[in-house]
Amino acid sequence: MLKTYLYKDLSKEQIQELVNRNTDPNHAIQDTVLNIINEVKTHGDAALKSYAKQFDKVELEKLFLGQEEIDELASTISRDQMRALEIAFQNIYKFHQTQLKRERTVETMPGVKCWREVRPIEKVGLYIPGGSAVLPSTLLMLGIPARIAGCREIVVCSPPQNNGKINGFVAYCLKLLKIDRIYLVGGAQAVAAMAYGTESIPKVNKIFGPGNQFVTKAKSLIQGLTDVSIDMPAGPSEVLVIADESCNPAFVAADLLAQAEHGIDSQAVLVCTSENIAKAVEEEVQKQLEVLPRKELAEKAMLNSYIVIADTLQEAMDFSNLYAPEHLILETDEWKPLINKVLNAGSVFLGHLTPESAGDYASGTNHTLPTSGFARSYSGVSVDSFVKKITFQHITEEGLQQIGSTVEILAELEGLQAHKNAVSIRKK
């Protein structure tokens, strides 16, 4: 079922072809998304209602649910389900709260003091996917750091269900986050609505959240078309598992399928150190696949997936760093020495008893991570994603005498006389 490659037989070009994913060679996705963006920019709420009818198969009278409706929906879930969401909330909050730190003031020269202060991004937009799977966990992963950062306005968009509402789990997360409104908009149109603003939906300063290839493309385009920034390109989900002879093939198969069941455009990659491991994992994949409720989706995702057989763990790490996975699982007894070898990854799961799903839901780390190779240059979402760091400096009379001539000389050699004068006039 899974395509298998021997690492030693792959050329550089073949490896590059393997690590490339979710490309849009004919610009079909881009063209569709640009059309959606322009429609939303031009027609606002009317376009959003039209897209809800077209894509979500629901006719909406209004584009949001308020506090009363959220409370009512939240009350429909069981006490055990509430408690699970509360534990996840507490663990995610505990981990992210440590990220907000005050930096010390530095005196670079006598009388010259510099420092940075943190300020929240005022208006943020959170996109919560709701296609083949509804993801209340994503609302916690985005809403908690936004709250810790102190963002003044948090706009949440999520596709409506076929009853024109959201599910009770998302509603309960809204209550935990003290957010009293959610907008019933999905896909690229939600990104456009938050970027430009409509009659109902406020314009934001930065957009967060994962999504399919259309959502990811919309985010990348919006960043170029408007003054709105994004967290990162976070598209279809992916995992890379490194496994050696110490692995449990059943665990490895479960981790691969956990990723595959996200959707047909997800990808699960196994890099193992022997053909025996590859065969054992394949057998487990087939066995576990048969009993999955989302078998059809997972099967299609596995068609996008593959196995690479490496001779050593070092070769496996070399391939992983080229691939730059969203999720990296090290299913080996030798995980400790591999930590320093991880150069490119969104989030890493160490050892045999650390499934990626723990990070997806409740261990505390954030599950909104860079995909499609962007882990080479992006980090996952954190409190830092929701703040700006502004530099300050203060110079005393002594400081001006200390630094003044340096600034004057540098300004003069760059031919910027007014820059020099701004110092000279003060020195006099």
**Catalytic member of 261, 326, 331, 356:** 326
How is residue 392 written in tokens? 């300050």
C-alpha 249/C-alpha 287 separation (Å) is 11
Any catalytic annotation for residue 326? yes
The answer to whether residues 243 and 281 touch, using CB atoms and an 8 Å cutoff, is: yes
DSSP-derived secondary structure letter, 92:
H
Count of H-run helices and E-run strands, the chain = 17, 15
Residue 6 CB neighbour total at 10 angstroms: 12
The CA distance from 161 to 268, in Å, is 28
CA separation (Å) from 33 to 187, 219, 292? 9, 10, 33
Catalytic choice (96, 262, 284, 327): 327
**What are residue 116's DSSP bridge partners?**
391
Nearest Cα to Cα of residue 275 among 2, 20, 17, 11: 2
If one counts every other C-beta atom within 10 angstroms of the C-beta of residue 415, the result is: 8
Q: How many Å apart are CA 137 and CA 126, to the nearest integer?
A: 12
| Alpha carbons 176 and 156: distance in angstroms, whole number | 14
Q: What is the CA radius of gyration of the chain?
A: 25
Contact by Cβ (8 Å): 295, 286 = no
Helices (DSSP H) in 44-135: which residue ranges? 45-55, 67-74, 79-97
Identify the DSSP state of 111.
T
Give the integer Cα–Cα distance in Å for 55 and 75: 28
Q: Are 76 and 348 in contact (CB under 8 A)?
A: no
Rounded to the nearest angstrom, the gap between the alpha carbon of residue 74 and the centroid of all alpha carbons in its chain is: 26
Q: Which residues are part of the catalytic machinery?
A: 326-327
